Structure formats: structure tokens, C-alpha cells
Structure 1
Amino acid sequence: MKVAQLGSGTPEIAVVAGVHGDEPCGVRAVERLLDERPTVERPVKLVVVNEKALERQVRFVDEDLNRAFPGNPDAQTHEGQLAHQLVEELEGCLTFSMHSTQSHAEPFAIVNGVSETAQTIIPQLPVAAMVETSDFAEGRLFTEVRTLEVECGLQGSETAAQNADRLTRAFLTAVGALPGDTMHRDLPVYRLTDVIRKDDADTYEVFVDNFTEVTPGDPFAAADGKKQVAKESFYPVLMSSNGYRDVFGYAAEKLEVLTTPTAAD
């Protein structure tokens, strides 16, 4: 785990990259900050986490780090020990954690509860939506540390790396670490309601777009040509044919749209 800092003093803000070794976009954003060393108005901790997995260009070495929290110093897995170390390193910090996905090109945020912090900061980021994990947060970083998580774009793409840089700088501006202003956006909010599982098969297909409503009777995915049909309406999130080993993604409900305050407000 690589830990660095911008500014002097004890950081209350952290930027985390490389939780998964096959998602290098956030690492590039952190490296650019370290190269440029911008003057900050609040100290910022920068962490590149799973260096061993990054070197091997694999998602994890022994287990998914973002399902291993709180971890244990005596864990039998690399990620189990790393999770414990990261929680200690991030104590007292509001953390911005960057990921990428095989399912959706446009950035979106993932939170463990629509908190006041999330409602204040995330509409200032260049994201298309905010997703609340509901009952599907077990083992993730934000169960132990105050964390705003973002999916920066398609895994391994140059666009995801560029998005990670923009998102990081917008976050640091929103929390007062970098000078400047941010742009507030109207932001739809979704809550995960179910896992969409897939049978063991040789080929998988997805027929729907993430964050676009699926209505009853619509076919939304198939395994070896056998279609799955919606029994009730839902919004797909993180849906892809091969992003996960045993699930297509998640079903969600749309909660609200956070609107931009007017000047009169």
C-alpha cells in the first residue's frame, strides 16, 4: 500500500485508488496529483491500495478487497490483512474511492446511505446518478470508513482514466481542498433492491441499458439463449454480460432527483 500526502497537517480528506488491481484509472489520477503537487487549502491523504494486484493486473490476489472489510491483521489472505491496514490508515478521513466497471461508460456514484454529506458533495461531481447500496454493502470499504465511491467508466479505458482525474479534482474542490468552484447537477438517486443472478452457461447477453427502466414482460438478459423476463419494473444497475461471475448485476428502484438549488434558495 502506497500512502502519500498533499499539504501539511493531519488530513481529514483522503483519495483512494487501486482497491482492485484491474482498475487502474484511479491510480493514474493519484499519480498525476503527485506529479503536479497542486497547492491545497486542506491536507489530503492519497492512497494506492492493492499494489500486489495492480502489479499482476488482476482484480485481487486472494479475495475481493472491497468485500473484505473490516479485515483482520491475522487474516489468511492478502486482502484480509490489507483491509485492516486501510481502515486504520483512513481513520477520521472522508474518503473518495475510485473504481471502474464493465457495465457503464458514464460515471456514477455509489453510497452506503443517502447522507447529508452525499447529498451535498455528489451533485457537485460530474456523475450521472447516485446509487444507494441498501442491503448490499457487506464487506465494502464504506461500511467501516466514511466513503463516497465512484465508478469512473469502462474498465481499462482511457476515458475512465480521464474521468477519474476530473472526478478527483471536483471532489477536492467540493470539500475545499482545491480552490475554485464546482458545477451543481440535478441528480437521480437509486436504491438497490435485488441481485440479478445468472445460471452457469457458456454465453451471456444483456438486452437493457443501465438506469433505463425495465417494464414487466421485457426480456432483459439471457444465458445460453434462455431469456430472463422482468416480472415487475426495475432499473438495472451494473448490468453486464460478463462483469461478474455469477450475477448479471442489480435491480434498483428510483427514489428521487436531487435538484440544483436556485439563486433564490
Structure 2
Amino acid sequence: MKVAQLGSGTPEIAVVAGVHGDEPCGVRAVERLLDERPAVKRPVKLIVANEKALERQVRFVDEDLNRAFPGDPDAKTHEAELASELVNELDDCLAFSMHSTQSHAEPFAIVNEITERATELCPQLPVAAMVETSMFAEGRLFSAAQTIEVECGLQGTETAAENADRLTRAFLTAVGALPGDTVQRDLPVFRLTDVIQKEQADTYEVFVDNFTKVPAGDPFAAADGETQIADEAFYPILMSSNGYEDVFGYTAEKLDILTTQPIAD
């Protein structure tokens, strides 16, 4: 794990990249900050987490780091030990953790709970939605540290790396670490409700778009040509034919739209 810092003092803000070794977009954003060394108004801790997996260009070495928290300093797996080290580094910090996905090109934010801090910060980020994932947070960084997670775009793309840089700077501006102003935007809010299981098959198809409502009775996916039909309406999140080994993605409900406050005349 690589740990660096911008500014002097004890950081209360941390930027985390490289939780998964096959998602290098956030690492690019951290490296650019380290190259530029911008003047900050409050100290920021910069972390590249799973260096071993990044070097091997694999998601993880022994187990998924984002399912291994809070970890164990005496663990026998690389990721469980690393999880414990990362939790210690993030003590008393708000973490901004960057990921990428095979399911959706447009960035979106993921939070464990819809807190006042989340509703304040996420509309200031260049994201299309905020997703609450409390029912599925076990073992994730959320469960061990205050975290706002972002999916920066499609895994391995230059666009995801550019988005990661833009998202990081917007976050650091929103928390007062970088000077300047952010752009407030209306933001739809979703909550994950269930996992869409994927049976073992040779071919998989997905017929729906993420964040677009699927009416009850509509087909949404197929495994080896066997179509799955929606029993009730839902919004698909992280839905793809090849993103996860055993699930297509998640069902979600739409909770709200966070709206920007109009400026008084």
C-alpha cells in the first residue's frame, strides 16, 4: 500500500485508489495529484491500496479487498491483512474511494447510508446518480470507514481515468481542500433492494439499461437463451452480462431526486 499526503497537519480527508487491481483509473488520478502537488487548504491523505494486485493487473490476489473489511492484521490472505492496514490509515478520515465497472459508462456515487454529509457532497460531484447500498455493505470499505464511493466509468478506459481525475478534484473542492467552487446538480437517489442471480451458462445477455425502469412482465436478461422476466418493476444497477461471475447485477428502487436550491434574486 502506498500512502502519501498533500499539505501539512493531520488529514481528515483521504482519497483511495486501487482497491481492485484491474481498476487503475483512480491510481491515475492520485498519481496526477502527486505530480502536480496542488496547494491545499486542508491536508489530504492519498492512498493506492492493493499495489500487489495492480502490478499483476488482476482484481485481487487472494480475495476481493472490498469484501474483506474490517480485515485482520494476523490474516493469512493478502487482502484481509491489507484491509486491516487500510482501516488504520483511514481512522478519523472521510474516504473518497474510486472504482470502475463493466456495466455503466457514466459516473455515479455509492453510499452506505443517505446521510446529511452524503446529500451535501454527492450533488457537487459530476455523477449521474447516488446509490444507497446498506443492504449489501458487508465486508466493504463502507462497513469500516466513512466512505463515499464512485464508479468512474468503464473499466480500463481512458475516459474512466479522466473521470476519476475530475471526480477527485470536485470532491476535494466540495470538502474545502482545493480552492474554487463546485457545480450543484439535481441528483436521483436509488436504493439497492436485491441481487439478480446469474445461473452458470455459456452465454449471457442483458436487455435493459442501468437506472432505467424495467416494468413488471418485461424481459431483462437471458442465460443460454433462457429469458428472465421481471416479477415486479425495478431499476437495474450495475447490470451487465459479464461484470460479475454469479450475478447480473442488482435491483433498486428510486427514492428521491435531490434538487439544487435556487439562488434568491
- The interval holding the TM-score normalised by the smaller chain is over 0.9
- Tell me the secondary structure at the aligned position of residue 45 of structure 2: strand
| Distance (whole Å) between structure 2 residues aligned to residue 121 and residue 264 of structure 1 | 21
The match for 1:43 is 43
The match for 1:217 is 217
The match for 1:102 is 102
- 1:158-169 alignment runs, 5 A limit: 158-169=158-169
| Distance (whole Å) between structure 2 residues aligned to residue 87 and residue 229 of structure 1 | 41
The match for 1:54 is 54
- Tell me the secondary structure at the aligned position of residue 4 of structure 2: strand
TM-score (norm 2): 0.99
| Distance (whole Å) between structure 2 residues aligned to residue 264 and residue 130 of structure 1 | 27
The match for 1:79 is 79
Aligned residues with identical type, % of pairs: 80
Aligned residues: 265
Provide the alpha-carbon RMSD of the alignment. Answer: 0.8
Deviation at 1:142, TM superposition (A): 1.1
Deviation at 1:262, TM superposition (A): 1.1
Summarize deviations over 1:208-235 as a string: whole Å, max 9, x none: 0000000011100000000000010000
The match for 1:133 is 133
The match for 2:18 is 18
Summarize deviations over 1:36-72 as a string: whole Å, max 9, x none: 0000000000000000000000000000000000000
TM-score (norm 1): 0.99
| Distance (whole Å) between structure 2 residues aligned to residue 121 and residue 97 of structure 1 | 14
- Report the AA paired with residue 15 of structure 2: V
The match for 1:262 is 262
The match for 1:151 is 151
| Distance (whole Å) between structure 2 residues aligned to residue 223 and residue 3 of structure 1 | 43
- Report the AA paired with residue 197 of structure 1: Q
| Distance (whole Å) between structure 1 residues aligned to residue 144 and residue 119 of structure 2 | 20
- 1:150-229 alignment runs, 5 A limit: 150-229=150-229
Summarize deviations over 1:128-162 as a string: whole Å, max 9, x none: 00000031110000111000000000000000000
| Distance (whole Å) between structure 2 residues aligned to residue 198 and residue 61 of structure 1 | 24
The match for 2:63 is 63
**8 Å contact 1:134–1:193 — kept in the other structure?**
no
- Report the AA paired with residue 71 of structure 1: G
5+ residue gaps, structure 2: none
| Distance (whole Å) between structure 2 residues aligned to residue 72 and residue 134 of structure 1 | 22
| Distance (whole Å) between structure 2 residues aligned to residue 12 and residue 203 of structure 1 | 46
| Distance (whole Å) between structure 1 residues aligned to residue 87 and residue 224 of structure 2 | 42
- Tell me the secondary structure at the aligned position of residue 159 of structure 1: helix
- Report the AA paired with residue 75 of structure 1: A
**8 Å contact 1:216–1:230 — kept in the other structure?**
yes
Deviation at 1:76, TM superposition (A): 1.3
**8 Å contact 1:19–1:99 — kept in the other structure?**
yes
Q: Which runs of 4+ in 1 moved over 4 A?
A: none
- Tell me the secondary structure at the aligned position of residue 135 of structure 2: coil
| Distance (whole Å) between structure 2 residues aligned to residue 204 and residue 222 of structure 1 | 6
| Distance (whole Å) between structure 2 residues aligned to residue 124 and residue 40 of structure 1 | 18
Summarize deviations over 1:171-220 as a string: whole Å, max 9, x none: 00000000000000000000000000010000000000000000011100
- Report the AA paired with residue 13 of structure 2: I
| Distance (whole Å) between structure 2 residues aligned to residue 241 and residue 210 of structure 1 | 12
- Report the AA paired with residue 28 of structure 2: R
